Each structure stands twice: as structure tokens, then as C-alpha cells.
Amino acid sequence: MEHGNGWARDIYGVFKAHEIAIVSYVPDAGHRELIALCEADDAIRVVPLTTEEEGVALAAGAHLGGRRAALLMQSSGVGNCVNMFSLITACDFPFLTLVTMRGEFGEFNPWQVPMGQAVPATLAAMGLIAQRAADPDEVGEVVDGAARLAFHSSRGVAVLLAQRMIGAKRFTEGR
């Protein structure tokens, strides 16, 4: 399969290096290429979710079973997870999430703006450490550092993938 962005391959390489065995997601165009790479790897179990907070519980279960997990979500999903984020601190387990941002650069949908703007403060309020990747050349390094922090310190860490890097979605009439 041909993949159009190097940063998805870089993240996949980090997942392999850190032995991430479970990747969960709610379908999102920003993560499409990374999901495809993970689905093509028999060593990674890819789990589609109905809602993002299921991924927090899945990461807790993976940790209890001696496995590492990552949750892929869009910035609007952070709002869905607020209550479940308390599980990370209360139960002291590592948590890694990659968040494709909306409500930033070139956003067409006003519904996405409030949560997109609130993501860093929301994560901080819930005790997660947020790190931002805005340049495709830095994504692998940022995700690697976040994975090290999460898995070696049993902390919740989120990597925010900037909307400008991913590309702003466009509204097209008739679609």
C-alpha cells in the first residue's frame, strides 16, 4: 500500500520500537494511513471503537495484561474522554494517545473550534501531559519521547498532531 505522508510511517516505527501491541481508534481521516499500517501488521491488534473513552479502558486492560496500547483520536474525542481520564491517574497506568487536531488552521466547521481550542487545557486539567507536533519532520521524535514518558513513568501522555500539518478538511457541497 502506498502511503502519502512520512509522519504516519514514523509513528508506526515508534509503535514497533516500543512494542505497542494494541492500537484503538474511532475512524478519523487524519489517522487513516497510520491505521492502515497497523492493520497490515499481524503483531498489532487494531481495535475500532464506538467512542473514544473505550480506548482508555482498553489501554488499562492492556497494561494489566502486560501489553502496551495506544489510542488514536480526533480532538473532539478528548471531550468524550474527560471522565475516563481519571482512571489513568487513579489506577497509575501508562497511557499514550495521538490526537489529530481540529478547530485550528483553516477549520471550516465552527462546531470543531471550541473543543479544538480547549484540548490542551482539558488534558492538563485531567493530569495528562500534552506534547505538540506541528512539523512532519519532528513527529517521530515527539511520539518517541511521549511513548518513553508514558511507558517509563506510568503517566498519561497525549501527542497533539497539528491541523496545519495534517491538512485542514474542506467542506464541499454535494458531499
- Give the residue from 106, 155, 166, 108 showing the smallest Cα distance to 132: 166
> Which CATH number among 3.40.50.970, 3.30.70.2190, 3.40.50.1700, 3.30.565.10 corresponds to the domain 1-101+135-152?
3.40.50.970
Interval 44-91: pLDDT, tens: 999 999 999 999 999 999 999 999 999 999 999 999 999 999 999 999
State the pLDDT at residue 171. 58
Q: Which three cell numbers stand for residue 164?
A: 496545519
> pTM for this one?
0.92
Interval 119-175: pLDDT, tens: 999 999 999 999 999 999 999 999 999 999 999 999 999 999 988 888 766 655 444
Partners of residue 25 on adjacent β-strands: 48, 72
- pLDDT at position 106 over 90: no
Domain ranges of the chain: 1-101+135-152
- pLDDT at position 1 over 50: no
State the pLDDT at residue 170. 62
Contact 11, 41 (CB under 8 A): no
- Cα three-residue angle 64-30-24, rounded to 5 degrees: 15
DSSP assignment string, 107-162: ---GGGHHHHHHHHHHHHHTT-EEEEE-SGGGHHHHHHHHHHHHHHHT-EEEEEE-
